[in-house]
Amino acid sequence: MLALVVGLVVAMGATLVSPGAGADVALSDQTLDGGGNNRAHPTAGQANTPYLRVAPANYADGKSQPVSGPNSRFVSNRVFNDVHQNIFSERGVSQIVWLWGQFIDHNVGLKDGNGPVANIPYNNGSPDPIETFTNNLGVIPFQRSAAAPGTGVNNTRQQTNTVSSFIDGWAVYGGTNARLDFLRAGGPNDGNPDNNSAKMAVDANNNLPRRNFRGNANTAPEMDHDGRLAANPGNAVVAGDVRANENIGLTAIQTLFVREHNRIVNALPNTISEQLKFAIARRIVISEEQFITYNEFLPAVGVNLPAYRGYNPNINPAISNEFATVAYRAHSMIHGEIEADVDADTPAATLDFLRGQGVEVGDPEDGEIELVVPLNVAFFNPDVMAAIGVGPILEGLAGESQYKNDEQIDNSMRSVLFQVPVSGNPECLDGPTLPTCFNGVSDVGALDIERGRDHGMPTYNQLRQAEGLAPKTSFTAVTGEATEAFPTNDPTITGNPINDPNILDFVQLKDINGNNVPLDSPDANNIATVGIRRTTLAARLKAIYGNVNNMDAFVGLVAEKHVAGSEMGELQRAVWTQQFIQLREGDRFFYLNNPDLTTIRLVFGIDYRKRLGDIISQNAGIARGDLEQNVFFAPTG
């Protein structure tokens, strides 16, 4: 064994992942912040560098001033508004798709949001007849992204990506020695992770540690603490990325990969140092994330890349502004609730706690209790994640089809994002009663539109042309519908149609096999994959924008008809394809370019080539047979 370990260290040499010095392992040049990945261009893909641009910036003054356009909440109410009708993926992909998409997003991109306040006017000073929510704030809070240093005054404003662009485990390990030192078990909290244990810190229940786990929570790394955590930031879990508390699904998958790191460490012999154990485990976890992304996630959504051509130092792997700000904002996929089954013998105190949080707790059946967690309850609520457990949450997400990746966004995201309810009635937290729970509006769809203008995003057709696609000349060409005119003989639509709530009515639903689903049936909100409204999306877009060339890129992208065999339209798929090729072929440490992985497999028998379902089963107490082989697709039975 000793000879093999010595051989391993020599063979890995300059490429073994190790953010600091170790007694028996050479310094690695894969840093925590992505710097030096490209030897000729050391800052390519590094944290705290500007996003790339695919197209010329689109500012009103050519430098920094956002372009004008229709009020983004006005657009949201007429385009993103789902009027409480669920429409599911037409290809049966599971909710693991949106969860993995968010997990990878938190590995590769995070804007510097500390720019000036630029709140979104609400109702433009007059009531919106389509509005159903009350907003006592009078605005939708919005803050511009900070201008990258040296930009936006005498030249084009750019924005900074504060995390590494690489798929490199940032969400697990963070981007600085100080954060990693806090996250690694044992050792002093002195800013040097190399004198800590090989394992990542977990609490007594094998969950992510809270901010006070080393004593004073005020000395812990910063974590976002919106919603229910706003009043108690010390209760937040700590992870490599600051957003780990955003929802219970995200917290669960963050926890999963910390457990996976520790499982790998436990499989290594005690004859090697803690630092080498850590380095090997980190290398495997990074490669697992890459392997799952390119072999399960992307194929599941219908992004089929050309064959890998090897590492190319001339490819810049940095995240593009268009990808981060327009194409990767797939909020339409996210359900308004998360379902999970727990054992029927779950302690009564735990069930009472969940009820008090607003979780719907079913009656015991077949040894299990069904839990339904309204999305608002799932926001910034690590106590609910801990009470339910990593396994049940991930199994529940894998067991149900996600919402269709289209223009519709659930009101939990579109109207009350991260807000704390003012009503004491937990039964109002989902569906048509949702507005009665809140007195403010925070709209992720409106924020997506506004962020595009803030970042100087091209218009829809400008982005198409930048991606090598022909511009669209009509709204029906975008949506694939038959008309962009409002019906003239429908007595339910009166006055100015774009301001009539009836234009959003659903008149027909179909399931994944094309069968009609009665609008008033119990299945109407559970199995529909096609929804036909009283008016076409094309007609509403024309009434809002007038001309296709005026359309915000985000709005046009989500409105596009899907490419056959894909969860997305032509433009979104093109941007994803370009970005994920660059992330793959511009990464010197990509798993297909990494001989360390073969050495680790030969010496220690540890292989990175795993399905996500395998990792869930090994670390979350779920039998492998209870999960689909490919958990990115929901069960069909």
pLDDT at 25: 35
Q: CA 51, CA 36: separation in Å to the nearest integer?
A: 17
Range in 59-68, 206-215, 424-433 the model is least confident about: 424-433
Q: CA 281, CA 597: separation in Å to the nearest integer?
A: 11
Token pair of 51 as six digits: 């996003």
pLDDT at 35: 97
What average pLDDT does range 35-45 have in this prediction? Answer: 96
pTM (whole model) above 0.85: yes
What average pLDDT does range 224-252 have in this prediction? Answer: 96
Tell me whether residue 374 is exposed, middle or buried, using C-beta atoms within 10 angstroms of its C-beta: 0 to 12, 13 to 18, 19 or more. buried
Answer yes or no: are the C-beta atoms of 83 and 504 closer than 8 Å: yes
Question: Between vectors from CA 109 to CA 103 and to CA 110, what angle results, nearest 5°?
Answer: 105
How much of the chain exceeds pLDDT 70, in percent?
A: 95
Q: CA 70, CA 483: separation in Å to the nearest integer?
A: 22
Answer yes or no: are the C-beta atoms of 102 and 436 closer than 8 Å: no
Question: Residue 507: enclosing H or E segment and its boundaries?
Answer: strand 506-510
What average pLDDT does range 539-558 have in this prediction? Answer: 98
Give residues with Cβ within 8 angstroms of 488, minimum separation 6: none
What confidence category does residue 187 fall into, taking pLDDT thresholds of 50, 70 and 90? confident
Sign (positive/negative) of CA torsion 442, 444, 445, 446? positive
Q: Which 3 state secondary structure label does DSSP give 619? A: helix
pLDDT at 4: 44
What average pLDDT does range 407-415 have in this prediction? Answer: 96
Q: Is the pLDDT of residue 296 over 60?
A: yes
Q: CA 12, CA 432: separation in Å to the nearest integer?
A: 58
What confidence category does residue 360 fall into, taking pLDDT thresholds of 50, 70 and 90? very high
Range in 15-29, 51-65, 308-322, 586-600 the model is least confident about: 15-29
What average pLDDT does range 331-335 have in this prediction? Answer: 96
Q: Which 3 state secondary structure label does DSSP give 549? A: helix
Name which of 393, 236, 413 is nearest 335 in CA terms: 413
Q: Which 3 state secondary structure label does DSSP give 361? A: strand
Q: What is the CA radius of gyration of the chain?
A: 24
What confidence category does residue 427 fall into, taking pLDDT thresholds of 50, 70 and 90? confident
Answer yes or no: are the C-beta atoms of 338 and 246 closer than 8 Å: no
Please report, for the chain, the start and end positions of each structural domain, with discontinuous segments joined by +: 2-331+443-459+552-626, 497-533
Range in 4-18, 422-436, 559-573 the model is least confident about: 4-18
pLDDT at 28: 56
Strands 49-50, 506-510: parallel, antiparallel or unpaired by DSSP?
unpaired
> Which of 285 and 219 is assigned the larger pLDDT?
285
pLDDT at 11: 42
pLDDT at 147: 98
Q: Which 3 state secondary structure label does DSSP give 124? A: helix
One-letter amino acid at 369 equals I
Token pair of 307 as six digits: 């064959």
Answer yes or no: are the C-beta atoms of 518 and 510 closer than 8 Å: no
pLDDT at 7: 46
What average pLDDT does range 279-308 have in this prediction? Answer: 97
What confidence category does residue 126 fall into, taking pLDDT thresholds of 50, 70 and 90? confident
Sign (positive/negative) of CA torsion 299, 304, 310, 314? negative
Quote the DSSP letter at residue 225.
-
CATH class given for the domain over 2-331+443-459+552-626: mainly alpha
Name which of 534, 96, 162 is nearest 319 in CA terms: 162
Give residues with Cβ within 8 angstroms of 397, minimum separation 6: 94, 95, 96, 99, 249, 338
Q: CA 282, CA 265: separation in Å to the nearest integer?
A: 9
Q: CA 111, CA 129: separation in Å to the nearest integer?
A: 35
pLDDT at 124: 66
What average pLDDT does range 433-442 have in this prediction? Answer: 91
Range in 27-31, 137-141, 477-481 the model is least confident about: 27-31
Question: Between vectors from CA 18 to CA 17 and to CA 22, what angle results, nearest 5°?
Answer: 140
Q: Is the pLDDT of residue 16 over 80?
A: no
- pLDDT, tens digit (0-9, with 9 covering 90-100), for 449-469: 999 999 999 999 999 999 999
Mean pLDDT, the chain, rounded, equals 93
pLDDT at 125: 63
CA distances from 244 to 31, 183, 241 (A): 21, 13, 6
What average pLDDT does range 175-189 have in this prediction? Answer: 95
Range in 18-32, 83-97, 372-386, 541-555 the model is least confident about: 18-32
